[in-house]
Chains A and B, each alone.
Chain A
Amino acid sequence: MLFPSMEIETTRLEKAVVVKVAGRMDAGSAPEFEKACEDCLRGGAERLVVDLSALDYISSAGLRSFLLVAKSLQEKGGKMLLCGMRGLVKEVFDMTRISSLFASYEGPESALADL
């Protein structure tokens, strides 16, 4: 069970920045995700929609990054929304009850429509 390397694609839209993260997020790659999100915040983004539909694997290091970024956003009056959470990644979010901290949507379109 080899998971592809992590890839991050950010798309700046009027209402939010959509951050699509694919592949595996472990202790080695999570800092890269954190940095990509922090760059969005420094660029003035207050709302991040994180698209998890292509994320195959996440460990607690990745969950920690989600919490850190979400806390930074909250301090600035912004927020993080999740979409596309699925399968075993969703189970990890659910088991740690991190999913309960975020509004979660099927896809980026429905998340953006709710903003």
Chain B
Amino acid sequence: MDEQTFPGTLDSLEGVRDYVARAAGQAGFDRGKIYNLCLAVDEIVTNIVLHGYEEAGLSGDITLRADLDADEFVIRVEDHGKPYDPNAHRMPHPDDLSLPLEDRAIGGLGIMLAMDAVDDLQYDATAAGNVHRFIVKLPHANAATSPGRQS
């Protein structure tokens, strides 16, 4: 799908989710998967806006591009804010999620939700910008390589 650029503000979240939903819909995902993909990209874009841009005193755009090939569906998100690798984030331990209300941390769930929704979340900080790649393997990609399959 053609790429689309949004201002790096929270007002862009609705447009971002709409882009993801349309691309994921065209790729044939069901409603639950589309919802989870929207949530994954929302979580990362929220972090880019709040931490990559606003907190760092920067402003800029966020560009989305969806690509579908025989094996996978990829949403690419590019920004020019302060770099942050989600894979370096300390994920909540299962025990942390069982703590009573008074001891429960109020944050730290966004990246967990984002990673849960995709097969892989790749990140690259380059001179040209930061790139997140949300990757979903297509179910038929495995079936297509299984032996004995008739074409």
Residue numbers of A with Cβ under 8 A of B are 1-3, 24, 26-28, 57, 59-61, 63-64, 67-68, 70-71, 74, 88, 91-92, 95-97, 100-101
Contacts and interface: CB of A to CB of B under 8 A. Distances in A.
B102 A71 contact: yes
Nearest to B92: A96
A64 B107 contact: yes
Contacts, number: 80
A34 to B, nearest CB: 11
- Of A57, A59, A92, the most chain B CB neighbours within 10 A belong to A59
Contact of A64 (B34, B49, B106, B116): B106
B106 A71 contact: yes
B113 A71 contact: no
A60 B32 contact: no
Given A59-B46, A88-B32, A95 B113 contact: yes
B113 A59 contact: yes
A67 B106 contact: yes
A26 B107 CA distance: 14
Contacts of A96: 97, 109, 112-113
B89 to A, nearest CB: 12
B18 A59 contact: no
Interface stretch (B37-45, B65-73, B139-147): B37-45
Contacts of B21: 1-2
Contacts of A91: 32
A27 B46 contact: yes
